[in-house]
Copies of this chain bind each other. A is one copy, B any other.
């Protein structure tokens, strides 16, 4: 098959669930070339009516928590036990093949990747965070149009990408390790409270006891925190990708969440908010691009920041000056 397809070929392939075409389409939306971007926009627009039917799941956790093995175990369970099609999109600004190899992770989700009902796609590296969220959201919609029932968005729980991902999924699952003071394990404030559920991984063998203790700890912490508007109280589970213990609990929690959020209308409301905020994010990003394009504004901005820090001008005054510069540049550059 040729490297570049036309609009019709992309659309037909995606709607038929052709994983090769789907992969090519995601490459297209990740391209920074403006003609690719134009075609990508048309592909997205055409398949849009066929999106929205999956359950979108964000999964995060620090390196070493066992994300890949968990997703592989969960994915196989969903496919084999419940006949669901599973797509996995990974977002990791810092990842590379080499790093994966260092962790002995050469066979990253290898069995799942080979399954005809699964689709696994790492994100392009080296992009800005905002960009990754944009592209991941688009890839997620392509996967939905291709008929996947579960879209898992995997991130590494060390940075800001979780916030962006939380905003594009229905359910957010945090994986944690138990034992030996591991309760803290570098999870930043804020990630825990975005979670709809925590799963303590590697709860097998001697580790089961530690996992149960950690479970009690987190349940307690969730109890102190307030639930949010959805009426959902975050769950704490234990599981093992080795013994498959607890994988069905995770599945049941997800099903329960979906059923209850659909029943009380929160599911649809949240999706609608996400769609509208997607539009406004795109709009703001267009404005930001325009602002950055204007080199004069950018340079001016740095100068003004310095004046603000030296208390020569007020932040208001600096902002007003910057705004006038932007207006002038917009008027002179018909974009």
Which A residues are closer than 8 A to B by beta carbons?
A: 41, 44-45, 48-49, 51-52, 183-184, 186-190, 192-193, 217-218, 220-221, 223-228, 272, 275-276, 278-283, 285-287, 290, 304-305, 308-309, 311, 313-320, 322-323, 326-327, 330-331, 334-335
- Residues of chain B within 8 A (CB-CB) of A335 are 327
Q: Would you call B224 and A314 a contact (CB within 8 A)?
A: no
Ordered by A's residue number, 25 sampled pairs between the chains whose C-beta atoms are within 8 Å are: A44-B314, A184-B224, A184-B226, A189-B225, A189-B227, A217-B224, A220-B221, A221-B221, A221-B224, A272-B309, A275-B308, A275-B315, A276-B305, A276-B309, A278-B308, A278-B315, A279-B315, A280-B319, A282-B318, A283-B323, A286-B323, A327-B330, A327-B334, A330-B331, A331-B334
**Chain B residues with Cβ under 8 A from A193's Cβ?**
189-190, 193
This chain's copy number in the assembly: 2
Task: Among B41, B224, B279, point to the contact of A305 (Cβ < 8 A).
Answer: B279
Q: A102 to nearest B CB, angstroms?
A: 25
Set of chain B residues within 8 Å of A281, measured between Cβ atoms:
315, 319
Partner of A187, one of B186, B226, B276, B308: B226
Extra contacts besides A189-B228, A275-B308 (14): CB < 8 Å: A41-B317, A45-B317, A48-B311, A51-B311, A184-B226, A188-B226, A188-B228, A189-B225, A192-B224, A217-B224, A221-B225, A275-B309, A282-B320, A287-B323
Please name all residues of chain B whose beta carbon is closer than 8 Å to the beta carbon of A41 when the two chains form the complex.
Answer: 314, 316-317
CB neighbours (8 Å) of A44 from chain B are 314, 316
Assess the B319–A226 pair: CB atoms within 8 A.
no
In the A-B complex, list the 7 residue pairs whose CB atoms are closest, starting with the nearest. Answer: A282-B319, A279-B315, A278-B315, A283-B319, A286-B323, A221-B224, A279-B318
What B residues does A331 contact at CB under 8 A?
A: 330-331, 334
